[in-house]
Amino acid sequence: MPKSEFYQTVPEVTGEQGARKQSFYDSYSRQKLDPSDPAVFRNSLLDFVRSNKLVADALIAGNVQMLGFSEVRKSFGERWPSIKDKILLLAETVIKKNTGPADAFLMVNEEQIVILFGGGDKEKATRSSEKIAREINEKLSGVSGIKEGLVTCRALVLELDPKTPIEALTTPEGLSQTVDAAQRKEEDVERQHFEALRSELHVSYWPMANIRKKLISAYSASVILPIWKASGEEQTHTGVFNCELDCYMLTQAGEALMRAGRQRRALLIVPVHFDTLATKPLRQQFIAACQLLPRLSSKRILLEIVDLAEGVPQGRLHTLLSFVGPFFAGFVARQPLSFRTPERFVGLKMMAVAADGSHVGTPARDDVERMQGFAKACGKARMRSIFYGASTFEAATAARRCNYDYLQGAAVAPAVADPGRVYLLK
């Protein structure tokens, strides 16, 4: 068929249908802001601000940070530009997939992407940003040559100050600086909230019973927060509050270990949030706290990873844990009772997997089945299983019958002010 005849068979889209089609693709192409043309960039930002000021009191921005580029740039040499472009294209594809025509984004540089969410719905923006970060992190594991965990995507949703002059947003540098200032403000607020309650914090240590050996051979550190913290008044968005809390507990645990003297010391389990290890600035702060630990910590302290999502690749976990590995005797992963894949922790110096059973009072049949499945899976992977929060005699008995290696909770032994030595249970 001649080319001209083929094109004659394609109907021409006109009228209202054509207008709808053109309007959709125009809005989709306007998602990515082009910083190469200052006039076009300025007009696009002004259009976005005008349209969103009508539906929101403050502009909602997502700060997507590709952390760790500086750590891998030197290893690629002349190949770095192609690797960088591959990662940024990956990030752009994910962002376009999870944003709508009313949103806009700017590739500020290789380590920062700013997303402007239309509509002023912060909860929806938060869900989209978390999904973007999660998908980028999953896809980064497939980029050739980059060790898993060295480049990490982090997304924060921020409200830009309504008093910010519009002109401050009409250049790429101004927009980036405004978003950075909003993030620093939230980080400072979280840091101030932590400092305000530091004097009210109380760290206690729960004895852990080794069922088979009939010993109190470990203690788990736990922090008691004021009631207003538990009520939700304080929420951590940037991770700074949790990082400050992690560093505080680690410091307290190190001091408690020294107070125990030269007696036969038990193991001490100290929790840390996964984001504290996964986010470079927070990880650096935590490592600084690790460097102040007594040398004995490398033999007596186990670091417990909490808030660890099931989809984190094993390679990424290995990289992140290697940063702090020399300071500790090993690691513990806290997982839900439904967890059944401990084999992904093999080779990570993971000594045990812990489950929080504080919600289990008098165990129902479903509770017992989940408890049994958890302990059995750990046993197959040759990892110790820990049952936390046994608050009733019935829960502790059920955990013992399910063959957990360690039990902890009010029904086992009360919390103490300092971790002690190993005790024989009679």
Q: What is the pLDDT of residues 21-72, one digit of tens each?
A: 434 334 445 578 888 888 888 888 888 888 776 555 668 888 888 776 666 6
Distance CA 112, CA 59 (A): 18
| Average pLDDT, integer, range 200-225 | 92
- What token pair was written down for 353? 């997997």
Distance CA 16, CA 13 (A): 9
* Domain boundaries of the chain, sorted by first residue: 15-189, 201-424
User: In sequence order, what E strands does 279-392 have?
Assistant: 301-306, 330-335, 350-356, 384-388
* 348 neighbors 322 (Cβ within 8 angstroms): no
Running DSSP on this structure, what letter comes out for residue 198?
G
CATH superfamily of 201-424: EAL domain (3.20.20.450)
Query: What is the pLDDT at residue 150?
Result: 61
- Full-model pTM: 0.82
What's 32's DSSP letter? Answer: B
More confident residue, 102 or 205: 205
Task: Tell me the residue type at 362.
Answer: T
Closest to 395 measured CA to CA, from 372, 363, 352, 355: 363
> In 3D, which of 421, 384, 417, 423 has the Cα closest to residue 221?
417
- pLDDT tens-digit readout, 70-80: 666 766 777 77
Relative to beta strand 384-388, strand 406-408 is: parallel
Query: What's the pLDDT tens digit per position in 131-146?
Result: 898 888 777 766 656 6
The pLDDT mean for the chain works out to: 83
Mean pLDDT for 340-361 is 92
User: Residue 20 is inside which H or E element, if any?
Assistant: helix 15-29
pLDDT value at 129 more than 80: yes
CB atoms within 10 A of CB 235: 9
Token pair of 61, please?
Answer: 């921005």
Q: Is pLDDT at 120 greater than 90 in this prediction? A: no
Torsion region of 114: left, alpha or beta (phi above 0 gives left; psi -120 to 50 gives alpha): beta
Calculate mean pLDDT across residues 242-247.
Answer: 96
* pLDDT at residue 9, rounded to an integer: 37
pLDDT at residue 50, rounded to an integer:
80
Q: Between helices 240-259 and 280-290, what is the axis angle to 10°?
A: 10
pLDDT at 230 over 50: no
Mean pLDDT check: name the lowest of 18-22, 206-210, 271-275, 375-379: 18-22
The tokens describing 354, both together, are: 């812990």
What topology is assigned to 15-189 in CATH? Alpha-Beta Plaits (3.30.70)
Question: Which parts of 198-326 fold into alpha helices (H)?
Answer: 227-230, 240-259, 274-278, 280-290, 297-300, 314-324
Q: Which residue has the higher pLDDT, 278 or 226?
A: 278
Confidence (pLDDT) at 372: 96
The answer, yes or no, to whether residue 316 has pLDDT greater than 70, is yes
Ranking 6-15, 149-158, 201-210, 368-377 by mean pLDDT, the lowest is: 6-15
Q: Which residue has the higher pLDDT, 303 or 119?
A: 303
Find, among 303, 305, 293, the residue nearest to 257 by Cα.
Answer: 293
Whether the per-residue pLDDT at 7 is higher than 80: the answer is no
Instruction: Give the pLDDT of residue 55.
Output: 53
